[in-house]
Amino acid sequence: MTDLNVFEDAVARVERIGTAAGVAAEVIDALRQPKAVLTVDLPVRMDDGSTRHFLGYRCRYNDVLGPTKGGIRFHPDVNLEEVQALALWMSIKCAVVGIPFGGAKGGVIVHPKDLSRLELERLSRAYMRALADFVGPMIDIPAPDVYTNARIMGWMVDEYEIITRSKAPAVITGKPIALGGSLGRDEATGRGAFIVIQEFAKRKGLDPTQTRVALQGFGNAGYHVARLLDGAGYPIVAVSDSKGGIYSDTGFNIESLFQHKQDTRKLQGVYYDGANCELVDHQIISNEELLELDVDLLIPAALEGVITPENVDRIKAPIIAEVANGPIAGEVDQRLRERGTIVLPDVLTNAGGVTVSYFEWVQNLQSYSWTLEEVRARLYDILSRAFDDIWTIYQCDGGSIRDAAYTVALRRIAEAIESHGTYAFFSGD
């Protein structure tokens, strides 16, 4: 990115789209800064007896629509600006799909792969201990994000319940099923993205078999969206993870690729396994090369800021589906629109995860669990309705699909601010 940091870039996007959509200046003002931010030092006993200090954050961005909601990221590049940007995007995302949550995000600066399992558990528990007064089933509800998973959520909910001497499964989502997790939560982000891509394909008359896909990021979301697209006939011609990528003109069998990744722990392991006859011929490519491939649909499903002013003019795919949060820097939105590149924006495309988190929270509050079929059907209802709302504005206003999604969200937030009444006016909050 040029001179803007990721948070300033995220706020600038809200200002730009909100102003163009006629959203009241007071609403945009309310979204310029987070409601509350907690920075914590986490001393953790390592297996060798020493103590290491980790830095963690939690940001509750905006809560006019409900308790704040958003994941916890364990990654060496976590920083406060990034956490705030991600929390702002969560506020927009929850409003886009019309679920009763505000936005939040948390993170710890750590490379989880450097820790033993017990060190990781101690760190997860330390993080929840530091956060216990900041979160709660009706206040702020964390969930998994990059490099965190159901097991980590299980340790955290356990720690919270020890501290509060109560059972409180609704304090966190993305838990193991045995602790009140929801069926279908693990695949939800990928399934949501699949639904959004299919809704778009339906309206544009795209033929899946002629729509060649490149996928950057083969984590939970990337794997599930690729699996579902593969099943629907889309050729997945390129896949990458943090170690690099592979390309095949005829497309990959995603299930067998996933098995290899599980077995070898990295995608490039497939290159060295000559014994695997299920794999088609493939070429080794870098992550940068993957983004610039001449494909029909590009899916960035890893981290933010991968399409920037530096590489935007080399991106050839006419459609980009943002499965990661913030893969396209805000300052290149305009450039993509000018050249006619369609972007299915993150705040819609990856909203399946938080939508099923919402279902998990509802099930926990009701102490009643739904079947996988119910979860999938309700996910489809919510996302297809959100797609319709956005598409209607997109067709009328002629901006980008992102502009339309932000317009839906900002109008909902504006209506809630208005409905809250005048308390904030008198108190100056």
Q: List residues binding ligand GLU (CB under 6 A).
A: 69-71, 143, 145, 173-174, 325, 350, 353-354, 357
End-to-end CA distance of the chain: 33
Identify the active-site residue in 35, 69, 105, 261: 105
- Closest of 336, 83, 297 to residue 209, by C-alpha: 297
Task: Give 18 or 70: the residue with its C-beta nearer to ligand GLU.
Answer: 70
Task: Give 107 or 330: the residue with its C-beta nearer to ligand GLU.
Answer: 107
Nearest distance from C-beta of residue 145 to ligand GLU, angstroms = 4
Rg (CA), the chain: 21
Q: Which residue number places its CB atom closest to ligand GLU? A: 71
Nearest distance from C-beta of residue 375 to ligand GLU, angstroms = 13
Nearest distance from C-beta of residue 105 to ligand GLU, angstroms = 7
CA dist 115 and 113 (Å) reads: 5
Nearest distance from C-beta of residue 185 to ligand GLU, angstroms = 8
Nearest distance from C-beta of residue 275 to ligand GLU, angstroms = 37
CA dist 320 and 34 (Å) reads: 29
> Is 204 designated active site?
no
- Closest of 311, 310, 315 to residue 339, by C-alpha: 315
Task: Give 67 or 330: the residue with its C-beta nearer to ligand GLU.
Answer: 67
CA dist 90 and 92 (Å) reads: 5
Task: Give 60 or 282: the residue with its C-beta nearer to ligand GLU.
Answer: 60
Going from the C-alpha of 266 to that of each of 147, 252, 272, the distances in angstroms are 15, 16, 11
Catalytic residue positions, numbered? 105
